[in-house]
């Protein structure tokens, strides 16, 4: 049995090596290169492919895998929206993902960023660098006095809710699919408009779908409280960036923490050498603001999460090769 693992980073390599040692019946070939038209040939002769990337899995790549007789593609991440589903089905390629590598990691980071916004740490960091150790006028707010609206109550959303409640915040939520336990607690509101109008903080944990694209747009912002805080550790496409900038300019949005960005591919996880060389003016607009925290899609990035991403994806690929089955199969 042979598995080719693409896009293996230095932080993933120790976990991949350990998995390989624990599975001596599997030949593991790894590369730091991403899976694309120029590297797909490395998979020739393999039984399965494991990969992680933000680049598209194009029809050309999937057709090539199919021509090699490879029917099993396991992702080390959650999202599958960058896969050409038609090509995958045409080639009979089964796809798995890692639906939950550490919901707690993302939830903890999200709430950490909110606390930084509420306590105005960006402002105080700047003031101290300038030798200013005064408090006023930069007074903070308390989470225990706020209502947090959680959009989507999957694993990550529920993990975040527990932390918000631990701080004493009132939590409400919206989801098309209601969790039975949360339903009993009466946490759900019936519409997004209700969530917008009641929330001091809006915490996004929804997937990227056609229906959710630009969920937060000019119309949505107009229905929110003045000074609302926006948190997006989920998917960049959920927020219309131009609308967010307008809402920040007007004061409708009092602060935002964005760990994802709608044009992040090719920008996040890249060292441009200097701020001026970042090739996205809207992103730089956000980064310059003291009431905005931009992070390069790092909410997931913990040792536990990286280990789980490698192990769960490799286990899933091996299971597919052995039996054609996996509990992490994705319906494209």
What pLDDT is recorded for position 53? Answer: 85
Shared domain check, 138 and 85:
no
What pLDDT is recorded for position 148? Answer: 98
Shared domain check, 112 and 83:
no
Q: How far is CA 314 from CA 53, 69, 182, 328, in A?
A: 15, 19, 33, 11
Shared domain check, 145 and 72:
no
Task: Taking each helix axis as running N to C, give the angle between helix 103-118 and helix 155-166, from 0 to 180 degrees, rounded to the nearest 10.
Answer: 40
Shared domain check, 154 and 58:
no
Shared domain check, 78 and 17:
yes
Q: Are strands 48-51 and 2-5 parallel, antiparallel or unpaired?
A: parallel
Shared domain check, 118 and 18:
no
Shared domain check, 46 and 120:
no
In a domain, 279, yes or no: yes
In a domain, 215, yes or no: yes
Shared domain check, 216 and 263:
yes
Give me the sign of the Cα torsion angle 230, 232, 238, 243: positive
For residue range 269-291, list pLDDT tens digits in order: 999 999 999 999 999 999 999 99
What pLDDT is recorded for position 64? Answer: 98
Token digits of residue 60: 């050309």
In a domain, 41, yes or no: yes
Token digits of residue 221: 């912002």
In a domain, 332, yes or no: no
In a domain, 162, yes or no: yes
What pLDDT is recorded for position 5? Answer: 98
CA–CA distance, 26 with 48 (Å, rounded to integer): 11
Burial class (CB in 10 A: 0-12, 13-18, 19+), 281: exposed
User: What three-state secondary structure class fits 124?
Assistant: helix
CATH classification at residue 212: 3.40.50.720
Q: How many domains does the chain have?
A: 2
In a domain, 18, yes or no: yes
Shared domain check, 173 and 71:
no
* Parent domain of 97: 2-101+303-323
Give me the residues of the chain with pLDDT under 50, please: none
Residue positions annotated with a catalytic role: 235, 264, 297
What pLDDT is recorded for position 78? Answer: 86
In a domain, 330, yes or no: no
In a domain, 153, yes or no: yes
Ranges of beta strands (E only) in the chain are: 2-5, 27-30, 48-51, 72-75, 94-96, 147-151, 170-174, 201-204, 228-232, 253-258, 292-294
CA–CA distance, 231 with 205 (Å, rounded to integer): 9
User: What three-state secondary structure class fits 145?
Assistant: helix
CA–CA distance, 222 with 194 (Å, rounded to integer): 13
Shared domain check, 240 and 191:
yes
Shared domain check, 267 and 161:
yes
Shared domain check, 140 and 39:
no
């Amino acid at each position: 049995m042979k598995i080719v693992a693409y896009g293996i980073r230095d932080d993933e390599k120790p976990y991949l090596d350990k998995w390989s040692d624990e599975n001596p019946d599997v030949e593991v070939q790894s590369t730091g290169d991403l899976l694309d038209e120029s590297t797909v040939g490395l998979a020739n002769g393999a039984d399965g492919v494991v990969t992680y990337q933000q680049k598209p899995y194009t029809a050309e790549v999937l057709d090539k895998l199919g021509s090699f007789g490879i029917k099993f593609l396991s992702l080390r991440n959650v999202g599958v929206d960058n896969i050409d589903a038609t090509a995958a089905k045409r080639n009979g390629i089964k796809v798995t993902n890692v639906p939950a590598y550490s919901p707690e990691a993302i939830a903890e980071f999200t709430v950490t960023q909110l606390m930084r916004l509420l306590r105005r740490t960006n402002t105080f960091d700047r003031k101290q660098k300038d030798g200013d150790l005064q408090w006023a006028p930069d007074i903070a707010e308390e989470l225990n006095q706020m209502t947090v609206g959680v959009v989507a109550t999957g694993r990550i959303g529920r993990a975040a809710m527990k932390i918000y409640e631990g701080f004493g915040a009132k939590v409400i939520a919206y989801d098309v699919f209601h969790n039975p336990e949360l339903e009993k607690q009466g946490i759900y509101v019936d519409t997004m408009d209700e969530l917008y109008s009641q929330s001091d903080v809006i915490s996004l944990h929804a997937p990227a779908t056609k229906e959710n694209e630009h969920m937060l747009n000019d119309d949505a912002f107009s229905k929110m409280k003045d000074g609302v805080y926006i948190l997006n550790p989920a998917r960049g496409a959920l927020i219309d960036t131009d609308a967010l900038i307008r809402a920040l300019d007007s004061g409708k949005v009092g602060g935002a923490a964005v760990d994802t960005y709608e044009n992040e591919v090719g920008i996040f996880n890249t060292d441009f050498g200097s701020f001026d060389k970042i090739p996205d003016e809207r992103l730089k607009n956000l980064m310059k603001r003291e009431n905005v925290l931009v992070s390069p899609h790092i909410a997931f990035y913990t040792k536990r999460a990286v280990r789980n991403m490698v192990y769960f994806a490799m286990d899933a690929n091996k299971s597919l090769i052995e039996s054609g089955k996996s509990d992490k199969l994705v319906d494209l």
